[in-house]
């Protein structure tokens, strides 16, 4: 497995492979790899001849007071996992080599980046789209693979690719979960035992909403009331948002659901490390498929 640290070397490698007719799939990551990332690698392998993983903790997507300094960077463990998973190349640029000191060019998706995570983390998605654009220009992939756990991120990247005409196929992979249903995340490791137990409220609330629409409930307010009641059973949780949105436009879902609706959650829990501002932010989502012609129930 090859490890490359500079954009110029990666571009040369991509050019050589493309000239030979080889198909490249890229799995962008910030490291701290787990089974969820390996599922992305597996999906990439089914789409290409060469699977590449980028490992870069992107500073431009972290806001003031967020966990950039605490973000885990187990480089050797990550490289071992990539090697064991059959990854052919890892792109691990240095921060000072990936962004020029006087960097001032940004890629921004205006509307899709505003709600949900964008509302509470202004500038976050500008950092995401900028770094992903830079990775696409560096790796020149035919395919790029992302997890559906970050549903808004996936939507924003797809819009960027469409609007700017990137010649890259974007593939979304369903969320990989712990045995108890909690979505896999590098942040889960920061939860103490009780917070970890209560964090299961996220997936329980998704299940509650799915059962409600399966039973014929189509009212947004009533569905969200059940979701919030379930989240309230976790006293350590602070709910940043629990919203129903259109899965494509991310506009608020209508009160009477007539088609698929994205239920998106962001919930904070105390960190095992404690301290002010040291909370753990977890996100999860599910696309609900209500049956509007059934009799609605309170």
* Average confidence score pLDDT of the chain: 95
Length in residues, the chain? 298
pLDDT-derived band at 298 (thresholds 50, 70, 90) equals: very low
What pLDDT was estimated at residue 293? 62
Summarize pLDDT for 205-224 with one digit per residue, the tens: 999 999 999 999 999 999 99
Burial of 178 (0-12, 13-18, 19+ CB in 10 A): middle
pLDDT for the residue numbered 276: 54
pLDDT confidence of residue 67: 75
Q: Which residues are catalytic?
A: 37
Residue 259 pLDDT > 70:
yes
Domains and CATH numbers, the chain: 2-173 (3.40.50.620), 186-288 (3.30.1300.10)
pLDDT digits (tens, 9 = 90+) for 22-40: 999 999 999 999 999 999 9
pLDDT at res. 294: 54
Rounded to 5 degrees, φ, ψ at 254 are -70, 165
pLDDT in tens, 103-161: 999 999 999 999 999 999 999 999 999 999 999 999 999 999 999 999 999 999 999 99
Tokens of 63: 């806001």
C-alpha to C-alpha distance for 185 and 251, rounded to whole angstroms: 26
Task: Report pLDDT for 277.
Answer: 56
Chain mean position to CA 72 = 16
**Averaged over 11-24, what is the pLDDT?**
98
| pLDDT per position as a tens digit, 53-74 | 999 999 999 998 887 888 889 9
Report pLDDT for 291.
81
Give the pLDDT band of residue 292 (cuts 50, 70, 90).
low
Give the rounded percent of residues in the chain with a pLDDT score beyond 70. 96
Output the DSSP codes for the chain: -EEE--HHHHHHHHHHHHHTT--EEEEEE-S---HHHHHHHHHHHTT-SEEEEEE---GGG--TTSSTTTS---HHHHHHHHHHTT--EEE---HHHHS-TT-------TTTTSSTHHHHSTTHHHHHHHHHHHHHHHH--SEEEEETTSHHHHHHHHHHHHHHT---EEEEEPPPB-TTSPBP-GGGGGB-HHHHHHTTHHHHHHHHHHHHHHTT--BHHHHHHHHHHHHTT-TT-EEEEEEEE-TTT-PBPPSB--S-EEEEEEEEE-BTT-STT--EEEEEEEEE---TTSPP--
Assess contact for 292 and 257: CB atoms under 8 A.
yes
Mean pLDDT of 72-89: 96
Q: Could you tell me the pLDDT band of residue 96, with boundaries at 50, 70 and 90?
A: confident
The predicted model gives 226-236 an average pLDDT of 98
Taking the model in full, what pTM does it have? 0.94
pLDDT score recorded for residue 296:
47
């Amino acid at each position: 497995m090859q490890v490359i640290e500079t954009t110029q070397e990666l571009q040369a490698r991509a050019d050589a492979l493309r000239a030979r007719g080889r198909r490249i799939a890229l799995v962008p990551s910030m490291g701290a790899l787990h089974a969820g990332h390996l599922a992305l690698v597996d999906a990439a392998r089914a789409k290409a001849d060469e699977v590449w993983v980028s490992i870069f903790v992107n500073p431009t997507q972290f806001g003031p007071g967020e966990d950039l300094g605490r973000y885990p960077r187990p480089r050797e463990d990550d490289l071992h996992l990539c090697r064991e998973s059959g990854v052919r190349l890892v792109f691990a640029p240095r921060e000072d080599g990936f962004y020029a000191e006087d960097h001032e060019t940004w890629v921004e998706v205006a509307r899709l980046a505003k709600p949900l995570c964008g509302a509470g983390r202004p500038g976050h998605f500008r950092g995401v789209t900028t770094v992903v654009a830079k990775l696409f220009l560096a790796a020149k992939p035919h395919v790029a693979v992302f997890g559906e756990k970050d549903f808004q991120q996936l939507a924003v990247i797809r819009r960027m690719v469409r609007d700017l005409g990137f010649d890259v196929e974007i593939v979304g992979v369903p969320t990989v979960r712990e045995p108890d249903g909690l979505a896999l995340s590098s942040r889960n490791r920061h939860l103490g035992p009780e917070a970890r137990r209560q964090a299961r409220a996220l997936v329980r609330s998704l299940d509650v909403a799915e059962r409600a629409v399966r039973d014929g409930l189509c009212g947004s307010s009533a569905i969200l009331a059940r979701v919030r009641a379930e989240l309230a059973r976790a006293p350590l949780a602070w709910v940043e948002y629990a919203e129903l949105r259109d899965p494509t436009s991310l506009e608020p879902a209508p009160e009477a659901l007539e088609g698929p609706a994205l239920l998106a959650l962001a919930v904070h829990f105390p960190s095992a490390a404690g301290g002010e501002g040291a909370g753990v932010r977890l996100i999860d989502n599910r696309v609900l498929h209500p049956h509007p012609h059934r009799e609605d129930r309170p």
